[in-house]
């Protein structure tokens, strides 16, 4: 068996008396597109924060390509090839779109904390920045200040920064939240292209997106994974139906 790209082992997280994540174990294979769904407050964002290093687990481990990353700070984890996006746009508001993406590119291009180089004269950085911008259809807005971007473009930029560093494990937290239908379609297309050959973990509420993209789906309810299966399996799972009852649209209804 190959080493999973991302592996969670009996992960727990408590805030005081409140247990938010409860004994979560999950293996995600390299190249898999894995979706995590669940009702509001199930702990999806907390799970992402645990994986990406923003929180340290109360117990249990997170491994990236077999390496334990549970106690690492976010930037170390990022260097090992894991990158994430945020539910609320988390961009560098006072910089232009191009500069935003360039910041994301810097580290992977070996620029480190350099203070002796001119950022503008490195061809490789410019090249890569342009590629990412082009990839995310942001090239024509390259010199617009990020704060002035329309909402959908800010979300695209969010993804652009996330993939800019070339990480091979990508975590996307509700990338299409608040988008219109056409914008969502564009975003899904972008995500599909961006995650080509990479491992993707995605949290999403839009079931259309999930069933369109995901190879496998995990359902998180009250901090516990109640099911992990292929989309068809999840669709037919009674426990999942139970958990979602009265909460959100059922998977079948949106497949059309």
Partner 1 sequence: MSDATQTFQNLAPSAGAKFRQRTLPILIFAACLAAIPMVGPSRTFYTIAHQMGINIVFALSYNMILGKGGLLSFGHAVYFGFGGYVAMHAMNWIEDGSGLWAGFPVFFLPLVGFAGGALAGAIIGWPSCRKAGTTFAMISLGVAELVFAAAFMFDSFFGGEQGISGDRMNGVELFGLSMGPISEVYWFIAFWTVVGLVGMWAFTRTPLGKLSEATRDNAQRVQFIGYNPQRVRYLVFIFAGGFAGLAGGMAAVNYEIFTPDAMSLVPSGFVLIMAYVGGITYFVGPIFGAILLTYMQSMLSDFTEAWLLYLGVLFIAIVMFAPRGIAGIVFGIWDGLRGSNPGQYIAGLLMKLAGILLMLIGLIVLVEVSVRWSNGYGEVYEPFGMHLGHQNVLSWLIIVVTAVAGVALTRYASKDKEAA
Q: Which residues bind partner 1 (CB under 8 A)?
A: 52-54, 73-75, 78-79, 83-84, 86, 90-95, 98-99, 102-104, 106-108, 111-120, 126-127, 129-131, 133-134, 139, 142-143, 161-162, 164-165
Closer residue to partner 1 in complex, CB, 75/197:
75
Q: CB neighbours of 121 closer than 8 A, spacing ≥ 6?
A: none
Q: Least distance in Å: CB of 188 to partner 1?
A: 22
Q: Least distance in Å: CB of 232 to partner 1?
A: 34
Which letter does DSSP use for residue 36 in this model? E
Closer residue to partner 1 in complex, CB, 172/219:
172
Which letter does DSSP use for residue 146 in this model? G
User: What is the C-alpha to C-alpha distance for residues 87 and 76, in angstroms, rounded to an integer?
Assistant: 22
Q: Least distance in Å: CB of 76 to partner 1?
A: 8
Closer residue to partner 1 in complex, CB, 136/243:
136
Q: Which residue has the tokens 């239908």?
A: 181
Closer residue to partner 1 in complex, CB, 29/95:
95
Q: Which residue has the tokens 């292209």?
A: 193
Q: Least distance in Å: CB of 163 to partner 1?
A: 11
Q: Least distance in Å: CB of 25 to partner 1?
A: 24
Q: Pick the closest to residue 185 from 225, 137, 218 (CA basis).
A: 137
User: What is the C-alpha to C-alpha distance for residues 87 and 206, in angstroms, rounded to an integer?
Assistant: 13
Q: Least distance in Å: CB of 88 to partner 1?
A: 11
Q: Least distance in Å: CB of 93 to partner 1?
A: 5
Closer residue to partner 1 in complex, CB, 136/225:
136
The tokens for 48 are 């992402």
Q: Pick the closest to residue 154 from 90, 99, 105, 83 (CA basis).
A: 90
Closer residue to partner 1 in complex, CB, 19/107:
107
Q: How far is CA 245 from the centre of its chain?
A: 26
Closer residue to partner 1 in complex, CB, 25/94:
94
How many other CB atoms are found less than 10 A from the CB of residue 108? 17
Q: Buried b vs exposed e over 2-41: b needs ≥16 C-beta within 10 Å?
A: eebbbbbbebbbeeeeebbbbebebbbbeebbbbbbbbee
């Amino acid at each position: 068996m190959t080493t999973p790209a991302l592996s969670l082992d009996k992960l727990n997280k408590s805030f005081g008396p409140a247990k938010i994540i409860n004994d979560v174990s999950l293996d995600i294979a390299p190249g898999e597109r894995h979706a995590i769904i669940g009702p509001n407050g199930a702990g999806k964002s907390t799970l992402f924060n645990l994986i990406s290093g923003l929180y340290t687990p109360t117990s249990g481990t997170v491994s990236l390509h077999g390496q334990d990353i549970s106690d690492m700070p976010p930037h170390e984890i990022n260097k090992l090839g894991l990158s994430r996006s945020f539910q609320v746009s988390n961009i560098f508001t006072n910089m232009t779109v191009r500069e935003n993406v360039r910041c994301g590119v810097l580290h992977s291009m070996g620029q480190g904390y350099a203070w002796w180089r001119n950022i503008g004269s490195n061809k490789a950085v410019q090249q890569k920045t342009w590629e990412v911008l082009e990839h995310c259809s942001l090239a024509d807005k390259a010199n617009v200040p990020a704060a002035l971007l329309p909402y959908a473009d800010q979300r695209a930029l969010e993804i652009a920064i996330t993939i800019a560093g070339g990480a091979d494990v990508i975590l996307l937290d509700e990338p299409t939240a608040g988008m219109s239908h056409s914008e969502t379609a564009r975003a899904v297309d972008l995500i599909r292209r961006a995650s080509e050959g990479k491992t993707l973990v995605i949290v999403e509420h839009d079931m259309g997106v999930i069933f369109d993209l995901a190879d496998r789906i995990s359902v998180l309810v009250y901090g516990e994974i109640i099911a992990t299966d292929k989309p068809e399996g999840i669709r037919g799972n009674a426990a999942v139906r139970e958990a979602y009852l009265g909460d959100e649209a059922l998977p079948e209804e949106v497949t059309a």
